[in-house]
């Protein structure tokens, strides 16, 4: 039997893992995004900043501009591209629904607790 360097199922496995991980992240950041336009700050801004600074770092690569164009920039923008479409996985809630679904923590807010006031 010969060695097959490329597994044809690898792209489908990767895309499934990417969708599952983005769904988990969407659930985790939903409390920080009251309205959909706030996702531009929470999700898209870090994606663009990481890609921008990854591209700048790649310009200092001693192997040249070809490696920058073929590897560094696609990796910087492609690896976390799920952050661009992550808001489509988030539940649609209005600010009124979000504020009514958040319960006060037991013992009141941190500003009212004695350890918080003394710190």
More confident residue, 61 or 110: 61
Domain boundaries, the chain: 15-92
Farthest-apart Cα atoms in the chain, separation:
71
**Residue 111 clears pLDDT 80, i.e. is over it:** no
pLDDT band at residue 45 using 50, 70 and 90 as cut-offs: confident
Rounded Cα distance between 94 and 14, Å, is: 33
State how far Cα 50 lies from the chain centre: 11
What is the pLDDT at residue 17?
A: 81
Has residue 4 got a pLDDT over 70? no
- Name the DSSP class of 38: G
Query: Could you count the other beta carbons within 10 Å of the beta carbon of residue 29?
Result: 15
pLDDT above 80: residue 60:
yes
How large is the average pLDDT for residues 51-60?
89
Region 77-87: mean pLDDT is 79
Structure confidence by residue, pLDDT tens digits, 5-27: 667 777 777 778 878 888 888 88
- 43-57 burial: b if 16+ Cβ within 10 Å, else e: beeebeeebeebeee
Give the total residue count for the chain: 119
CA 17 to chain centre: 14
Tell me how far apart the alpha carbons of residues 101 and 103 are, in angstroms, rounded to a whole number.
6
Mean pLDDT of the chain: 74
| Structure confidence at residue 113 as a pLDDT band (50, 70, 90) | low
């Amino acid at each position: 039997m010969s060695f097959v360097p490329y597994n044809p199922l690898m792209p489908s496995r990767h895309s499934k893992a990417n969708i599952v991980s983005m769904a988990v992240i969407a659930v985790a950041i939903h409390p920080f995004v009251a309205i959909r336009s706030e996702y531009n700050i929470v999700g898209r801004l870090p994606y663009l900043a990481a890609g921008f600074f990854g591209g700048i770092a790649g310009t200092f690569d001693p192997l040249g501009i070809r490696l920058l164009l073929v590897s560094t920039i696609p990796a910087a923008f492609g690896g976390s591209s799920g952050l661009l479409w992550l808001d489509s996985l988030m539940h649609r809630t209005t600010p009124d629904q979000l504020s009514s679904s958040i319960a006060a923590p037991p013992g009141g807010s941190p500003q009212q607790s004695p350890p918080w006031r003394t710190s």
